[in-house]
Chains A and B, each alone.
Chain A
Amino acid sequence: ETGVTQTPRHLVMGMTNKKSLKCEQHLGHNAMYWYKQSAKKPLELMFVYNFKEQTENNSVPSRFSPECPNSSHLFLHLHTLQPEDSALYLCASSQDWTGVAGELFFGEGSRLTVL
């Protein structure tokens, strides 16, 4: 396994379901991120974890709940989502979260559809 892997790649869920997205990085990085990519909108930063500690919550609704048990794994727990939450959810990692942090390594994304 190399790089950043995300599972599942595709997910369809109803508004009352509970599901989780998983991300694993094999790069030895210390910072991990969740981004949301919607059609015709810029990438939106959701959460940042640095050395397993959450350092950024970009005003994300509580129906999205992140979990970072260690520096290699990141989860995004989903419950009672809305159709407008349908998007590509990208996990990324970087060596650390510093003032020049910009070299992000992205996973292939999880395409979420909320019915």
Chain B
Amino acid sequence: QKEVEQNSGPLSVPEGAIASLNCTYSDRVSQSFFWYRQYSGKSPELIMSIYSNGDKEDGRFTAQLNKASQYVSLLIRDSQPSDSATYLCAVNAAGNKLTFGGGTRVLVKP
């Protein structure tokens, strides 16, 4: 079983719609959760972090965490073509290791 699992996509959404990305993780003791965005040919950049159950909003981005169900999600509201990228879920699990999922490719179509 993969430690951090994401649907590889591509997730195709029309401009202005909500993109919903999901991530599940296997290590129950995980405490910290992150979303990174990676444009094609570029390096990942951190866009959201979440540490406690519930929702965390930052601009058009909302991260949602449910530790009991071991999933974390990212919502992108009012999606723009500039949001087209691969979104990486990362989980800080046992031993201070940051483990990344394989990423979900998002395509926002004008």
The interface of chain A, by Cβ under 8 A from chain B, is 40-43, 45, 56, 90, 97-109
Contact = CB atoms under 8 A, between A and B. Distances in A.
Nearest to A56: B97
A66 B91 CA distance: 25
Given A42-B102, A43-B44, A108-B42, A103 B34 contact: yes
B22 interface: no
A41 B96 contact: no
Contact of B43 (A40, A42, A99, A109): A109
Nearest to B88: A43
A58 to B, nearest CB: 8
A106 B37 CA distance: 11
Interface string B68-110: 0000000000000000000010101000111111110000000
Interface residues of B, number: 25
Given A43-B88, A90-B43, A98 B96 contact: yes
A11 B103 CA distance: 25
A103 B46 contact: yes
Contact of B98 (A40, A104, A107, A109): A104
Interface in B18-50: 31-34, 42-46, 49
